[in-house]
Amino acid sequence: MNRVDQAILIVQESLEHFESNEASWAHWYFDQATYSRWAGDELIDLLERNPTIPPIRTVNEFTKKMDAFSIMGKENNIMFSIAKDFSENIGDVLRDLP
C-alpha cells in the first residue's frame, strides 16, 4: 500500500467514528460530525487527485486553507474550524507513521 492509499484509509477510518445514530446526537455534535465528514470527503478527493504529492503536504495545505477560511467571517467559522481540527488530526496520524 502506498502513502496516498494509507492516508485515504486513515481518513476513512476517522470518518467511521461519525457513523452512529444521528437522531440521538446533540446539535453541537451533529455539526461536528457533519463538518468532519465534509472535510474527510474533501481530503480524500484531494489525495486521489494528487497522487504524486506527499499526503502530509496535501493535508497540511488543506489545514492551512481551512484555518484561513475560519477567520474570514462568522457565518462559516465553525464549519472551517472543525474541518481544520479534523485535518490536523489526520496530519498528526500521518506524521506518526513509520
Q: What is the pLDDT along the chain (98 residues), one digit of tens a residue?
A: 899 999 999 999 999 987 766 666 677 778 888 999 999 999 999 999 999 999 999 999 999 999 999 999 877 799 999 999 999 999 999 999 98
Is 19 within the bounds of a domain? no
Is 38 within the bounds of a domain? yes
The pLDDT, as a whole number, for residue 24 is 65
Is 61 within the bounds of a domain? yes
Is 37 within the bounds of a domain? yes
Record the pTM.
0.90
Quickly list H helices, 1-98: 3-16, 27-49, 55-70, 77-96
Is 18 within the bounds of a domain? no
The pLDDT, as a whole number, for residue 49 is 98
- Asked if residue 8 lies in contact with residue 48, where contact means CB atoms within 8 angstroms, the answer is yes
The tally of domains found in the chain comes to: 1
Cβ-based neighbour number of residue 54 at 10 Å = 13
List the one residue out of 92, 86, 97, 90 whose CA is nearest residue 38: 86
List the one residue out of 84, 87, 94, 79 whose CA is nearest residue 43: 87
The C-alpha angle with vertex 45 and arms to 39 and 38, in degrees rounded to 5, equals 20
Is 20 within the bounds of a domain? no
**Could you tell me the residue range of the domain that residue 77 belongs to?**
3-12+25-96
The pLDDT, as a whole number, for residue 29 is 79
The pLDDT, as a whole number, for residue 19 is 72
